[in-house]
Amino acid sequence: VLGVFGESGNTNLGVERIPYSWGGELSYFQTKTVNKAKSSQSLNPIRVRSNQLNMLGDGLDPDVKPKVYTTAKGITALLVSDITMLESAFSFGVGCGYYQDPEDIPGLAHLMEHVIFLGSKENPDPIAWDEFLLKKGGASNAYTSGDSTVFYVLSSPAELESVALYFTKMLTNPVIDESSSVSEIDAVNQEHEKNIPNKVRVMVELALHLAPKSCPATKFGTGSTETLRINTEKKNISLKKALSEY
């Protein structure tokens, strides 16, 4: 299992997140910690600050070997080796989210999350990533919060290097194409529509709406067809330029 958490410039990630595993089950680290404690109690996803990374091993099985590295560019990488696992995975967290959305384009950060998976300049085909992962027996997903965007990818151990290389090219050199980006707005809008009947989500949004207007938490982070397509067209905003600047 490979986890990578990125920090750049003056951005402070604060608390970095290890996402839940696929299927809504406990994350890898939750499962290992629960097993060690011989408890079935559900734990919150482990949140690790930079000065706590070296202490992570205390809560894991003896055979699990976590190591922490920091690159010359200041990116902290947490690597965990566990020979009992049949699959490998990695995640990458970027210290910005919908708090950084422009006031006139709510949902831009969420759209950018989708656009990342549309390919790189080396591999510009927007469906090539999904086909590549399918051949490698892998899977991927991501989420955007107020202050971070996290991508995570699953693959077989033998294919981890090639999958990580492909993903890294998309992250560092994405294809920002007007037509492909517009097509992803439909996917973003579907997520928004799915949230509308969710009473818990509605209550959270209401609480955030009552915050001071200067607070970034009041922003509409999901985005929709109205905010990303209709309004940008009315205001003659170039979505490609906005995504490139973001």
In Å, what is the CA distance from 141 to each residue of 36, 46, 114, 213, 231? 28, 19, 9, 32, 28
Q: Which of 7, 16, 113, 184 is catalytic?
A: 113
Euclidean distance between CA atoms 64 and 182, whole angstroms = 44
Q: How many CA atoms lie within 13 A of 40 on its CB side?
A: 0
Instruction: Show the beta-strand stretches assigned E in the chain.
Output: 2-5, 16-17, 47-48, 65-70, 76-81, 88-94, 139-144, 149-155
Which residues are within 8 A (CB) of 65 and not within 5 positions of it... i.e. 6 or more apart?
A: 57, 80, 81, 82
How is residue 167 written in tokens?
């993903």
Helices 178-195 & 108-116 angle (0-180, nearest 10): 120
Which of the 8 DSSP states describes residue 44?
P
Please indicate whether residue 193 is annotated as part of the active site.
no
Other CB atoms within a 10 A radius of the CB of residue 21 amount to 18
Reported residue count of the chain is 246
Tokens 């086909």, residue located: 131
Task: Tell me how many degrees the CA angle 177-103-233 measures, rounded to the nearest 5.
Answer: 45
- Active-site positions read 113
